[in-house]
Amino acid sequence: MVLTKDATLLPKDEKLIIEEFLHNPCVVRMSVDRPNVRLEISHYSPPSGLEGSMDWVESWSEAIKRIIGTFNGQLAIVYFSYAREANAACSAISSLGVKAVAFTGECSSLDKNHIHAAMRNGEIEILCATTAYGCGLNLPDVRCVVRFGLPKNMSSWMQEQGRAGRDGKPARAVILLNEKYDINRCVFWLDGSSDGDKKSMLTNFVDVLKYAYSGFSGLCLRKFQVEYFGESLPQGDAQNCCQSCDDQSFQDASG
């Protein structure tokens, strides 16, 4: 007997695994839908002359604080692709009077234990994390997850937004994007990957771009997301759905 599990397996990959490796399996699939988590996309344009510099990252911190500010002291996680970005943003956010800490692969086990304890005690408002975050801490009351730049793929975005609203109360999951930054980053990743990985990496990037632009086009982000993972959108519980499904048009986070 073999037990295999995955938090965000795509339907095509599930089919492949069943056909190739399993005989007459019992498949248990839970929904990826989280109706209490509002999905948002926010475009950000950096101030002129700051593009590509670490000052630019610091300028994003104002936009991040504006997004998170509606929660006034409640816990939020901001995800970054690189530790240097998480550290720079953490310093900038701290300078705005917000209790922030960086949580990256550069942290020692002791650092992480201290951060875990501080989070449980309510001593931290914003965790600036890379995807190294995920070391067994299960906090129910994260009210907002922000993604600095597009995620590498929809599965990683699902994993990151899965940190929000585990207590079932209203929460938000926001991607903050800038096309120039994101396309440059994708090109950098493609240049550094093997030929075999390039195609899937590019496909994944196009998928997250489609997700983002469905939001900018007024289409339901939640519908896109659940259908991407092979489900249908449940009817009648769209009160906290996404920016496209309420009366607020999306706002440019550059203010």
Name the site residues for Zn ion (rule: CB under 5 A). Answer: 220, 222, 241-242, 245
How many Å apart are CA 41 and CA 157, to the nearest integer?
Answer: 12
Q: Is 74 exposed, middle or buried (0-12, 13-18, 19+ CB in 10 A)?
A: middle
Q: What are the DSSP E strand ranges found in 108-185?
A: 126-129, 144-148, 171-177
For Zn ion, the closer CB: 43 or 222: 222
Give the number of other CB atoms < 10 A from CB of residue 80.
25
**Closest separation in Å from C-beta 39 to Zn ion:** 7
For Zn ion, the closer CB: 101 or 144: 144
For Zn ion, the closer CB: 41 or 146: 41
**Closest separation in Å from C-beta 242 to Zn ion:** 3
How many Å apart are CA 57 and CA 32, to the nearest integer?
Answer: 31
In DSSP terms, which residues pair with 171 in a beta bridge?
37
**Closest separation in Å from C-beta 238 to Zn ion:** 6
**Closest separation in Å from C-beta 255 to Zn ion:** 24
**Pairing label, strands 37-43, 100-103:** unpaired
Cβ atoms of 77 and 100 within 8 Å: the answer is no
For Zn ion, the closer CB: 59 or 240: 240
Strand 37-43: give its sheet, edge to edge: 37-43, 171-177, 144-148, 76-79, 126-129, 100-103
**Closest separation in Å from C-beta 215 to Zn ion:** 9
How many Å apart are CA 116 and CA 78, to the nearest integer?
Answer: 16
For Zn ion, the closer CB: 34 or 222: 222
Give the number of other CB atoms < 10 A from CB of residue 175.
26
* Three-state secondary-structure class, residue 87: helix
**Closest separation in Å from C-beta 203 to Zn ion:** 24
For Zn ion, the closer CB: 98 or 242: 242
**Closest separation in Å from C-beta 10 to Zn ion:** 21
Give the number of other CB atoms < 10 A from CB of residue 65.
20
For Zn ion, the closer CB: 106 or 246: 246
